[in-house]
Structure 1
Amino acid sequence: MNKIHPQLRTVNVIRYVTPLREGGSMPAIAEADDEFLYVLKFRGAGQGVKALIAEIIGGEIARALGFKVPEIVFANLDEAFGRTEPDEEIQDLLKASVGLNLALHYLSGAITFDPTVTVVDARLASQIVWLDCLLTNMDRTARNTNMLIWHKELWLIDHGASLYFHHSMQNWQEQAIRPFALVKDHVLLPRASELNEVDTAFKAILTDELITSIVSLIPEEWLTDESGQETAEEGRQVYRQFLISRVANSEVFVKEAQNARESLI
């Protein structure tokens, strides 16, 4: 039985360094009171706390499966922070993000993964494809790989676009057992020839206990439905049951990935 019990540290943001304008959420490099730099992801950005929830679940599942993922921390943003920011768009974002946000350790000097430069072996490619099918992560394409090379090792970043079922919770049970059709665009799919072996290994790691411990990391305030009709605990159980069901029915997304790969080679 897997005995991993993940925990996240909490830091306080003390300095806004520079915006990262890639994509629509406009994260930033910021310094915290532990003197480290982080990529700060804001609760007041377009997708709100759901992107942060996906980041926690995706990042910590990846870490539990043995992937290299930057440390994820909770990041407190004080009400007074950013009052002197001259950019009105950034100032509005900071005002909307007062309180608890999410940040990832900044990998200084890392370079974007380029599949034409770095060859990923079949086992690692299969592992990453399996992970992204589980998480329904649409952001691992040739156009936007969301992988970095740091100290000659491959690191996975940015899982905020995962778990897109939670933008429409009504039919989450059905979505949990659907194949992941967007796997056809996955940058590593052509090399993912060991999906069956990876499926067996990863299902043994992702126990109900481990999934429960990862989902328990989500702050209660992020889980309360905006309509007020869903309690935080009910929201937490949806994520838990979605992931448990998806792991139990992994043959559905594994077969979809294998079929998509066969059409490419």
Structure 2
Amino acid sequence: MPVAVIRGAQRHHWSNEWLHSAQSFPVTGNFDLQANAFGVLMVHNEDVVDVGSGFDTHQHRDSEIVTWLLAGSIEHRDSSGHSGVIVPGLVQRMTAGRGITHSERNASTRAEGLAAHVVQMWLPPDTDGLDPSYAERDFTADLADGALVPVVSGLRRHADTPAVSIANRYVALHVARLPSGVRVDLPPAQFGHLFVARGEVEVDGVGVLAAGDVTRHTDMAADGPAAVTAVSDVEILYWEMHASFDL
């Protein structure tokens, strides 16, 4: 099972006066997202957004955009009439389809003074030109048991679970909040992307990963699952992917 390790410091970092963005795949500037993708994951940004700031209204099309909060809150508004506040434990999926505009801003007041710490991920849909759509669900209670929980999925085996649907039948995003010492197996897949959002984990055959570190696994289905053990209290995000842009 080939594994590449990308440390947090090795990511593409970009900052301005209100945003720091650590990008697993370079996004800022003139980059070819498909050429830089791993599996079908094109964007995996860890952003810290200052109070009173955010992304003004902008457009997307033919992409599945998944947002997960690590701290703070983000207010979302889009041209399809959806609005709401995303907080830790709540996953958001937006299908841009044939075209949608939206804005994302730190929902904290200046009195509260809380930066928003957000992970945003983009993938392609199976079909272009879909109707724009939006879904969200709070998984806080599901994550309390220290298990690996599918929070977004297009896989058939998750059809009867609470996972939010995504218009890509080859992928699933799993999240776990693990206390120290707890061990979980990552579902085997042709492509696996493990992100350590908080704390430290030990991955069998790889070693210890800290917050911000990533592993990119290929051909996991052939070798069986990779086991992850929490070295401290941790939060991990794992994309299970059974397709890539190369296929």
TM-score by length of 1: 0.30
Structure (1/2) with the larger strand percentage: 2
Q: TM-score, normalised by structure 2?
A: 0.31
Greater C-alpha Rg: 1
Higher helix share: 1
